[in-house]
Amino acid sequence: MAKRRMFSIALVESDSFYELSPLSQALYFHLNLNADDDGLVDNVRSVMRDLKASKNNLSQLIDGGYLIELDKTVMAITHWNQHNRIKGDRYTKTTYSELMSNLRRDENDRYFKASEDFFGNICAPQDRKGKDSTVEDSKAKESLAEHRAEEKREEKKYNSLFHTDIQTASASQNSADATAINDLSIDSLTLQALKNNIRLYFMKKYNTVNTFGLIEHCEANNWLTEEGKPIAECYKDYAEEWMAMRQRR
């Protein structure tokens, strides 16, 4: 295993990282130092004990998209390949090959679980050869086109579902009735997909899956804008307005 570790300044100097508690930040640095050459850590609990870190500190890193829980004992550093570029003669393959096979890499070299590839994210192969090919480039372009087409289909589906739901609600209904209709008309899978859409947008635009309370705000308002428009129809614009408002505070 390599003796040195590096960190991407763009990540650890970002506002979202600074918003983590100091102990959560320290935990992140020490987990990176303890990771193997593929970014997997198998002594998370020991590091937490040494730092006197709590489960809440660990949850901050997982919920913020900095760690991926592969099983009860092994974690993956999401941005490992942005932090480190280990030369082939110093690289030692992880001993957790089976768990590693569950990971994919997006176009920015961030890890994500294959099971969470809800929107057909583009993933780079887990390859240390460092060689590209015309065939691989062609496949990547095809995957990107499929990804964009799928995202458009999903957005159209959400817009249609939410538009139909809102038409059934009366403007005179109180908030309790609106909540009940919202719960009945939007199935959990569709709602989860919308939340994932928002997180995916934040990851692409702001390099984080931390939505800074936007999802909780949307839930409190039954997924409607202040003008009564379904957020599903304009979630990207709504997210931009939310971030602009947050930065003005």
166 with 234, same domain: the answer is yes
24 with 112, same domain: the answer is yes
Burial (0-12, 13-18, 19+ Cβ within 10 Å), 232: buried
107 with 172, same domain: the answer is no
Q: SS3 sequence, 16-61?
A: HHHCCCHHHHHHHHHHHHHCCCCCEECCHHHHHHHHCCCHHHHHHH
Could you tell me the CA-to-CA distances from 102 to 110, 113, 114 in Å, in that order? Answer: 13, 6, 5
DSSP 230: B
Quick: pLDDT tens for 83-113. Answer: 998 888 889 999 999 999 999 998 889 999 9
Residue 131 has pLDDT above 60, yes or no: no
- For residue 35, is it within any domain? yes
159 with 84, same domain: the answer is no
169 with 98, same domain: the answer is no
- For residue 47, is it within any domain? yes
Residue 227 C-beta-side C-alpha neighbours within 13 Å: 5
Lowest mean pLDDT among 115-119, 165-169, 196-200, 243-247: 165-169
- For residue 145, is it within any domain? no
Give the CATH number of the domain where residue 14 resides. Answer: 1.10.10
- Report the percentage of the chain scoring pLDDT > 90: 39
- For residue 144, is it within any domain? no
Residue 118 has pLDDT above 70, yes or no: no
Q: What is the pLDDT of residue 149?
A: 63
28 vs 216, more confident = 28
Domain that holds residue 55: 9-116
Domain count, the chain: 2
Max mean pLDDT among 46-60, 123-137, 152-166, 197-211 falls in 46-60
103 with 170, same domain: the answer is no
Quick: pLDDT tens for 139-196. Answer: 555 655 665 565 555 555 544 544 444 343 333 334 433 443 344 345 666 777 788 8
- For residue 133, is it within any domain? no
